[in-house]
Amino acid sequence: MSATKMMPSAEVQPQTMTGSEVVLRALVEQGVEVVFGYPGGAVLPLYDAFFKQNSIRHILVRHEQGAVHAAEGYARSTGKVGVVLVTSGPGATNTVTGLTDALMDSVPIVCLTGQVPTHMIGNDAFQEADTVGITRPCTKHNYLVKSADDVAKVMHEAFHVARSGRPGPVVIDLPKDVQMSEAPYYSASECVHKTYRPRTEPAADAIERAIDMMAEAKKPIFYVGGGLVNAGDEACMRVTELIQATGFPVTLTLMGLGAYPASDKQFIGMLGMHGTLEANMAMHDCDLMIAIGSRFDDRVTGRLDAFSPDSKKIHIDIDPSSINKNVPVDLPIVADAGKAVDALLQRWWARGLKADRQKLSPWWAEIQGWQARQSYRYKQVGDVIKPQYAIQRLYELTKDRETFITTEVGQHQMWAAQHYLFEKPRYWMTSGGLGTMGYGLPSAMGVQIGNPDALVVGIAGEASWVMNMQEMSTIVQYRLPVKCFILNNSYMGMVRQWQELFHGNRHSESYMDSLPDFVKLAEAFGVVGMRAEKVSELDGMIEEMIAVDRPVIADVVVDRAENVYPMIPAGAAHNEIKLGPNAGDDVEGSEEGMVLV
């Protein structure tokens, strides 16, 4: 069960209470302020314990998937662990998408699930599901607590596992009788784990070798991902220092946006399938790649056998299984990104190294050549709103406030990543690894709970948004002034784009027929609805959306035909990036690319 051993504390007998009370007390000890949940038969004792206390706030969602995404948004925007509470059976199975999302994007979540009483487990009881079996592959770890004696230590262990090392979701399955039995309470300091020891300190000789490689590089690049955001704000600041001390260019992954200030000259944009020309070309042509908290995902690498063929690669990651998984690297450094970067910075200074402008100038000149092509360029002509323009105006009108952005998945997500600029980490919440449509709205809800005074905008496509729109009801209940900024093109835009490029322009089931009238829908939910159909209406609508201190559903009717560029077609290499029809550079789908996702 739990691999935690108890520290002997001879004199003091542990306090006893019910299993549910132990759960609540452990949550308080772990610093939990809010739980996203939905009650049901197998968690009634836990909900009863919630009723009798005031220290933890419970947010009643409308669907368990929404609870997990809300907890993800909360966790990613605050750096704390997100907590979910659901019932057995369907309650637990509804969390699977959210848990998988959190696993792929390394979000610390503790998900408490109710279970039928221990004596009924295995009997196909009402609302019974093999929760630990189902969630084993989509969690970092999970527990079925069969004895009330184990509740306290499993709770503490779960939080430790969720937030340390490479963070991730942890499920604790609590049978109803365990919640009701008498149980001892142990504090976190009494529990020491027997096996789980993630490595955080970098090896000194590896740091020295990394500095050697950095000192020699003529065409270096930093390739930084979401792992750095997880390492914390301090780690991001240290990386910024290191990058500025070296004078090297830096590109960020989708998950890494905000880890380095977007306005800085050394930032050459996001890389990958819809990244900038300069970032992708620089990755392809570099002679030294320094990957920090990034995992060489297929959306980033493109065709693997043509990925950055002439570079030496340094990979800093806390997860040893991320190293050499897709791309073999020359120097792996298994460590916490913050600690590794700190060590690099110390040694860089100690060895008297400086940014060698002269040596790097031919490399920067090449990069500036690519930058001059303006790969994110689009043309706003006529009355019809281009989706990129809508994002750009949103950015201009919100950049001076504390603004958090969440997205759903698809074209709007890529346009948001391209045209909304982030100066600081934790202000950008998107489903990167799993690509979960329906992530953005509940996630925005969680962000607003964690940051009550900030402006929270959920940039969405209409197709994704309706996937979890029941959460509008939660948003209303808790008076969360979340702004839903829907780029409505009446299509599953990214599906349509791929059908156009790879499937002979046959729009098979990608048109969103019978959409609701979003303004009337807003009225039905009791929130503010607004719409912009012309360029001239856009700024006014955005300003009104910001000004109103209530939840808003903003229906931005955009050009239906627009596609996301630049694009590295699936199965192509970085240097085969296409700038799109505006630049007279169309994508031609390949047979090999068609089988890829």
Partner 1 sequence: MTEQEESHTIAVLVENEPGVLARVIGLFSGRGYNIDSLTVAEVDPQQGRSRINIVARGTPQVIEQIKALLAKLVPVHHVVDLTLDGAYVERELALIKVTGDREKLVQALRIADFMHARLVDSTTESFVFEITGAPNQIDSFIHLMEPLGLVEVSRAGVVAIARGPGGLESGEPPLA
* Residues with catalytic roles: 64, 126-127, 176, 494
Nearer Cβ to partner 1, position 328 or 526?
328
Please report, as residue ranges, which positions from 4 to 43 form the binding site for partner 1 (by CB under 8 A): none
Choose one: 14-22, 73-81, 130-138, 250-258; the region binding partner 1 (CB under 8 A): 130-138
The nearest distance, CB 81 to partner 1, in angstroms, is 16
CA 531 – CA 462 distance, rounded (Å): 13
Stretch that binds partner 1, among 60-68, 129-137, 183-191, 575-583 (CB under 8 A): 129-137
The interface mask with partner 1, positions 71-110, x = CB under 8 A, is: ----------------------------------------
Cα separation, 574 vs 300, in Å, equals: 9
Toward partner 1, which CB reaches closer, 336 or 408?
A: 336
Single residue of 16, 57, 126, 133 touching partner 1 by CB under 8 A: 133
Stretch binding partner 1 (CB under 8 A), from 195-203, 362-370, 528-536, 560-568:
195-203
Piece in contact with partner 1 (CB under 8 A), picked from 88-96, 135-143, 408-416, 527-535: 135-143
Q: Is 122 in the site for partner 1 (CB under 8 A)?
A: no
* CA separation for the pair 333, 454 (Å, rounded): 37
Pairing of strands 191-193, 4-6: antiparallel
Are the C-beta atoms of residues 557 and 512 closer than 8 Å to each other?
A: no
Residues 312-371 that bind partner 1 (CB under 8 A): 319-321, 323-325, 328, 332, 334
Q: What angle do CA 471, 416, 238 make, to 5 degrees?
A: 105
Amino acid identity of 51? Answer: F
Interface with partner 1 includes 536 (CB under 8 A)?
no
Which residues, including other chains, have CB under 8 Å from residue 470's CB and lie 6 or more apart? 62, 63, 66
> What are the percentages of helix, strand and coil residues in the chain, rounded to 5?
45, 20, 40
Q: Where are the beta strands (DSSP E) in 28-163?
A: 34-37, 57-60, 82-86, 109-115, 141-144
Of 220 and 227, the one with the shorter C-beta distance to partner 1 is 227
User: In terms of Cα–Cα distance, which of 407, 399, 434 is closest to 564?
Assistant: 407
As measured in angstroms, the least distance from the Cβ of 166 to partner 1 is 8
Give dist(CA 488, CA 559) in Å, integer. 8
Interface mask toward partner 1 for 149-178; x: CB under 8 A: ------------x-----------------
Least distance between partner 1 and beta carbon 323 (Å): 7
Position among 29, 58, 120, 141 found at the interface with partner 1 (CB under 8 A): 141
| Pairwise CA distance, residues 547 & 233, whole Å | 29
Give the pairing type, strands 57-60 and 34-37.
Answer: parallel
Angle between helices 64-78 and 440-450 (to 10 degrees): 50
Q: Which of residues 385-414 bind partner 1 (CB under 8 A)?
A: none
Q: Kindly give the pairing relationship between strand 141-144 and strand 109-115.
A: unpaired
**Nearest distance from residue 304's CB to partner 1, in Å?**
11
Of the two residues 170 and 472, which places its CB atom closer to partner 1 in the complex?
Answer: 170
Binding residue for partner 1, selected from 55, 57, 126, 194, defined by CB under 8 A = 194
- Closer to partner 1 by CB, 314 or 494: give it: 314
Residue 132 lies near partner 1 (rule: CB under 8 A):
yes
- The values of phi and psi at residue 49, to 5°, are -65, -35
Q: How far is the CB of 255 from partner 1 (least distance, A)?
A: 20
For residues 229, 279, 410, 496, the Cα torsion angle rounded to the nearest 10 degrees is -170
Least gap, CB of 324 to partner 1 (angstroms): 6
Nearest distance, CB of residue 321 and partner 1, angstroms: 4
DSSP label at residue 52: T
3-state secondary structure of 83: strand
Structure tokens at 106: 């390394």
Among 61, 165, 131, 421, smallest CA distance to 269 is for 421
Inter-residue contact 468 to 441 (CB < 8 Å): yes
- Per CB under 8 A, contacts with partner 1 among 471-490 are none
Between 55 and 321, name the residue whose CB sits nearer to partner 1. Answer: 321
Cβ-based nearer residue to partner 1, 196 or 511? 196
Question: Could you tell me which stretch among 41-49, 138-146, 383-391, 531-539 binds partner 1 (CB under 8 A)?
Answer: 138-146
Decide: is 195 part of the binding site for partner 1 (CB under 8 A): yes
Q: Nearest distance from residue 106's CB to partner 1, in Å?
A: 13
**Of the candidate residues 119, 199, 507, 520, the single one contacting partner 1 (CB under 8 A):** 199
DSSP 141-196: EEEE--SGGGHHHHHHHHHHHHHSSS--EEEEEEEHHHHHSEEEE--GGGEEESS-
What number of chain residues touch partner 1 (CB under 8 A)? 25
Does an H or E element contain 410, and which?
A: none
What is the closest distance, in whole angstroms, from the C-beta atom of residue 104 to partner 1 in the complex? 13
Interaction site with partner 1 (CB under 8 A): 1-3, 132-133, 136-137, 140-141, 144, 161, 194-196, 199, 203, 319-321, 323-325, 328, 332, 334
